[in-house]
A and B are shown apart, each in its own frame.
Chain A
């Protein structure tokens, strides 16, 4: 039973356009959500997070939206740049599962020049 799902394994967008990466979760006890970015042969790095008391968090070109009723979050990148090409992991945590993070399978974003 996968509690965090990223249903799109890959996404390709043109430079300058918007990239939208989606993530769904099933456990209503999750209350803290994070996005990590991973380049090949490197470890994941933290990108942006959101607490369940908010529905939006913005950091420069990156915005995360949380829809608790739908158990859905999305990461928007505007404008997309070739350097954004990477694998993006969604992660969820909370009082459930002893606070440990549960990761989705990742979405590979390719931004074409």
Chain B
């Protein structure tokens, strides 16, 4: 069991570029989440999904889009990257909601 995996681990973008972060889980969890963590701050929820084909906005959704076409995958897209989106992004999944979440190792994104 790989648990929750994230691709890529690191990425540098220029302002205005777009990219997609991929999250995959092999635990058959219904619920998946995307968070960002900035220095000295906790995890802030960007978007989440309560099942295949569903998405919902979290605390800080602006500038991001998500899709959950398959139960095991949750994609986070940045349409036009801005320096304010420089952060570490974590994906998580859970079998219950609310419930304990299993986190991926994170993606460190820098926007120049």
Known A43-B4, A43-B106: A103·B43 in contact at CB below 8 Å: yes
B41-A105 in contact (CB<8A)? yes
* Cβ A49 vs Cβ B100 within 8 A: yes
Q: Considering the complex, give the chain A residue whose CB is closest to the CB of B58.
A: A100
Interface set, chain B 60-79, CB cutoff 8 A to A: none
Q: CA separation between A106 and B106, bound complex, in Å?
A: 17
Main SS at interface, chain A? mixed
Q: Which residues of A contact B92 (CB under 8 A)?
A: 43
Interface string of A30-62 (1 = CB under 8 A from B): 001010100001111110010000000000000
Q: Give the distance in Å from the alpha carbon of A98 to the alpha carbon of B99 in the complex.
A: 12
Q: Residues of A within 8 Å of B, CB-based: how many?
A: 24
**Do A105 and B90 form a contact, CB below 8 Å, given A43-B105, A99-B98, A100-B58?**
no
Measured as residues with beta carbon below 8 angstroms from the partner, the interface class of chain B is 20 to 34
A83 interface contact, C-beta 8 A: no
Contact between chains at A43 and B90 (CB < 8 Å) = yes
CA of A9 to CA of B102, assembled, Å: 24
List residues of chain A with CB within 8 A of the CB of B102. Answer: 46
A108 to chain B, nearest CB (A): 10
Chain B residues packing against A (C-beta within 8 Å): 4, 33, 35, 40-45, 48, 56, 58, 90, 92, 97-106
A-B contact pairs, 11 of them (CB 8 A): A6-B42, A34-B100, A36-B103, A41-B105, A43-B104, A89-B43, A98-B56, A100-B48, A103-B42, A104-B42, A106-B42
